[in-house]
A and B are shown apart, each in its own frame.
Chain A
Amino acid sequence: SAVISQKPSRDICQRGTSLTIQCQVDSQVTMMFWYRQQPGQSLTLIATANQGSEATYESGFVIDKFPISRPNLTFSTLTVSNMSPEDSSIYLCSGRGTATGETQYFGPGTRLLVL
């Protein structure tokens, strides 16, 4: 299994500002992902965080709005840029790899409220 931690756990931000969310995995994972869960909704994949290269974004998500870094196999950051109230969501980090038995584990999420 894998234990994934995220910081911050929650935040309240003003519109127009940016927030960087950190994700740390306790074991090396091949794949890391970022998801968004809007209130009362399911999880939507934002992007796959690639080590040492640009993230791979899903349709509807762009790098300028959600820049992602992954400097090594156990750490990634997601920035939510120029925030608006529509960005109020839970953002979840996830990891998967041979060390996890191909199971995707999730962090506890970062609850973001944009005013």
Chain B
Amino acid sequence: AQSVTQLDSQVPVFEEAPVELRCNYSSSVSVYLFWYVQYPNQGLQLLLKYLSGSTLVKGINGFEAEFNKSQTSFHLRKPSVHISDTAEYFCAVSDTGRRALTFGSGTRLQVQP
């Protein structure tokens, strides 16, 4: 079984500042890693994913994440945030055997002007 920890429940940041949303996972087997974004009153949208290969993954809207196997982390970063990035961000993990995603508790990114 896998588990995901998102240490920060809320991250306030000023517009145009950089941001990092932290995600750590636990698993005894190889995993796939994902970040999803949920805007208010909307469904989940995939930001980026790590399946294999390069540990630095680039996604939509200028976000990127780095898979660190030794630290079992998959932190999400953006060099300059916009007001429109205000949303809930979920880190998720699944094993490579086609089981369902396990989600972290979510991080609320609040971008202030």
Q: Is chain B found bound to chain A in the same assembly?
A: yes
Interface residues of A (CB under 8 A from B): 30-31, 33, 41-45, 48, 92, 94, 96-97, 101-109
- B106: nearest chain-A partner, CB-CB: A42
Chain B interface size, as a band, is 20 to 34
- Chain A residue nearest in CB terms to B96: A102
B residues adjacent to A (C-beta < 8 A): 32, 34, 36, 42-44, 46, 49, 51, 90, 92, 94, 98-106
Given contacts A42-B90, A43-B90, contact A106 B44 (CB under 8 A): yes
Tell me, rounded to whole Å, the shortest Cβ–Cβ distance linking B74 to chain A. Answer: 15
- Which residue of the partner chain, among B32, B42, B43, B44, contacts A102 with CB atoms under 8 Å? B32
Question: Would A96 and B98 count as touching, CB distance under 8 A?
Answer: yes
A105 engages B106 (CB within 8 Å): no
Q: In whole angstroms, what is the CA distance A105 to B36 when docked? A: 10
- Could you list 13 further interchain pairs (A-B, Cβ under 8 angstroms) beyond the known A42-B106, A92-B44, A97-B98? A43-B90, A43-B101, A45-B100, A45-B101, A45-B102, A94-B101, A96-B98, A103-B46, A104-B100, A105-B46, A106-B36, A107-B43, A109-B43
* Chain B residues in 8 Å Cβ range of A43: 44, 90, 101, 103
Which one, B49, B51, B100, B106, contacts A94 given CB within 8 A? B100
Pair A103/B34 contact, Cβ less than 8 Å: yes
Which of A33, A43, A96 has the largest number of chain B CB atoms within 10 A? Answer: A43
Cross-chain contact A42 with B51 (CB below 8 angstroms): no
A92 and B34 in contact, given A31-B98, A42-B105, A102-B51 (Cβ under 8 angstroms): no
Whole-angstrom distance between the Cβ of A91 and the nearest chain B Cβ: 11
Chain B: which residue is nearest A100 at the CB level? B46
Tell me whether A106 and B51 are in contact (CB under 8 A): no
A108-B42 contact in complex given A43-B90, A102-B51, A103-B49, C-beta closer than 8 Å: yes
- Given contacts A102-B32, A103-B49, whether A92 and B43 have CB atoms under 8 Å apart is yes
